[in-house]
Chain A
């Protein structure tokens, strides 16, 4: 069965510092990877997906099949980036997403 691991429950950085939220997965096929974000008092929403290969709000994520990782990165953190971040995997087709346990990002002024 597929599994998504986010090793850090909490990541605290200062404004302007680089951010890297780690995500590792276990799946033998070709997965589709996502990052979802939940800001305070808001709904869980899509941040980015690996097949889009785009930067959203300054965040990027590269799928590394050799290391089975999909880390989320941003060169300069902003206070408004503070939120819960969830990495998610789909086996493709009609299969639903499997989520990691989430990492809380706190960006301090």
Chain B
């Protein structure tokens, strides 16, 4: 099966600019996650979608971050305006429903550098 696709792989922007990341999950996976991984730390959940509804966005900085999952498939994560501390790898993951719900398949990540 095809894996989780993410783009772009790398992005360099200046602070206060905006950026958007795209994710295409594994076909049929109901749940999609965006994690932020800062260098030297473990992944931190930003937002979790179940189909096209939000399950958990409690750690999403909503003043600058937004995410959507149209039609319950692809998802976009946007940052506007970016801050220096947003430099990180943004990981998208998906998981199926049922007994495999907590088995996440990760994409390669999008590395953001904010100057």
Contacts and interface: CB of A to CB of B under 8 A. Distances in A.
Given A43-B3, A43-B108, A44-B91, A98 B102 contact: no
Given A44-B106, A45-B106, A94 B45 contact: no
B42 A100 contact: yes
A101 B40 CA distance: 7
Interface string B79-115: 0000000000001000000000111111111000000
B42 A32 contact: no
Given A43-B3, A43-B108, A44-B91, A98 B45 contact: yes
Contacts of A44: 43, 91, 106
B40 A97 contact: no
Interface in A1-22: 4, 6, 9
Nearest to A43: B106
Interface string A23-52: 000000000101010000001111001000
B7 to A, nearest CB: 15
B102 A97 contact: yes
B42 A43 contact: no
B101, B102, B108 — which one has the most chain A CB atoms within 10 A of its CB? B102
B50 interface: yes
Contacts of B108: 43
A68 to B, nearest CB: 18
B43 A46 contact: no
A15 to B, nearest CB: 26
A43 B9 CA distance: 13
Given A43-B106, A45-B106, A94 B101 contact: yes
Contact of B48 (A4, A45, A96): A96
A94 B103 CA distance: 11
Interface of B: 3, 31, 33, 35, 40-45, 48, 50, 55-56, 91, 101-109
